Amino acid sequence: MIILGMTGPIGHGKSTFADALAVLEESTVHFESSLIIAEVANAMQNALTDIPDPYNVEQLNNWLRCLPPILAEIIHVNCAYEQLKLEQKAMEEHPVEYQKLILHVENMQRKPELMHQLITKENKESYRPLLQWLGGYLVQKIDSGVWYNEIVRRMRQAADAGCKLCIVGGLRYPTDAAILRGAGAIIVKVYRPGHLQSDMLDPTERERQNIQVDCTIMSNGTVADVRKFAELFYQDLKDNKIEKIYHTATV
């Protein structure tokens, strides 16, 4: 099975490129750490009976008490609540690390329907603050490979089932890339020149810039260009001769 890990700024074309590759290979599986995080976040949301005060650490911690059994069931990680609980001092000294959690709770206060609405690929933008916070917080509190170890477990199941191409999107940390490389992956960066890079103050977005990639795909054309380019790139992948840099449109 060919394993392709993708990184790059939000909104620079990773999903478009992944979709173009999936059209070429019927036996494709696509994993996103954000969607696995969303599985955990959905279980967290379902555990809520009342929306906590975003500035009350005790109320927020009461919510986090649900996490250990959720993590054991969904991503096969065993941890104690004491590992996960919020500390007032840490929140005051490093507020940027917690502002996304606070923002999500504030969003629920404004829109209570977010409380028990299922998080999906289509609506995940509404839950991005929660997904970003949860993803980074568990990396910090439990293990740097907490999400990608689970992806590798699911990848192996896909390989056993006969899958030929596995695409893993949304790499944010160098450790993500290292875990995938250990499983035989090629790491590519998808970058759209001149396009805005959002959320650069977010810890996960800052770390993404430190990922060492095997090649960079400059998404400098249209969606049609990306689809045409995907054929060339996939053939290079199968031939094991990828180049250091590609352009989706003729420069």
Q: Is the pLDDT of residue 22 over 90?
A: yes
pLDDT digits over 138-165, tens only?
Answer: 999 999 899 999 999 999 999 999 999 9
> For the segment 163-172, what is each residue's pLDDT rounded down to a tens digit?
999 999 888 8
Tens of pLDDT along 59-94?
A: 999 999 999 999 999 999 999 999 999 999 988 888
> Residue 197: what pLDDT?
57
Q: For the chain, what are the domain ranges?
A: 2-27+164-247, 35-141
Do 172 and 205 contact (CB within 8 A), yes or no? yes
Which residues share a beta bridge with 167? 4, 30
Q: What percent of the chain has pLDDT over 70?
A: 94
At residue 204, the pLDDT reads 56
* C-alpha 67: how far from chain center: 19
Please give the pLDDT value at position 249.
86
Superfamily name with CATH number, domain 2-27+164-247: P-loop containing nucleotide triphosphate hydrolases (3.40.50.300)
Top-confidence residue, 221 or 51: 51
Spatial distance between the Cα atoms of 180 and 168, rounded to a whole number of angstroms: 9
Say what the pTM is.
0.85
15 touches 22 (CB < 8 A): no
Torsion region of 13: left, alpha or beta (phi above 0 gives left; psi -120 to 50 gives alpha) = left
pLDDT digits (tens, 9 = 90+) for 176-190: 999 999 999 999 999
Between CA 212 and CA 75 the distance in angstroms is 26
pLDDT band of residue 242 (cuts 50, 70, 90) is very high
pLDDT-based confidence at residue 124 (cuts at 50, 70, 90) = confident
Q: What is the pLDDT of residues 196-219, one digit of tens each?
A: 555 555 555 667 788 999 999 998
Higher per-residue pLDDT: 222 or 195: 222
pLDDT band at 251 (very low <50, low <70, confident <90, very high): low
pLDDT of amino acid 34: 86
H or E segment at 188?
strand 186-191
Query: What pLDDT shows up at residue 60?
Result: 96
pLDDT of 25 > 80? The answer is yes
Q: How confident is the model at residue 195 (pLDDT cuts 50, 70, 90)?
A: low
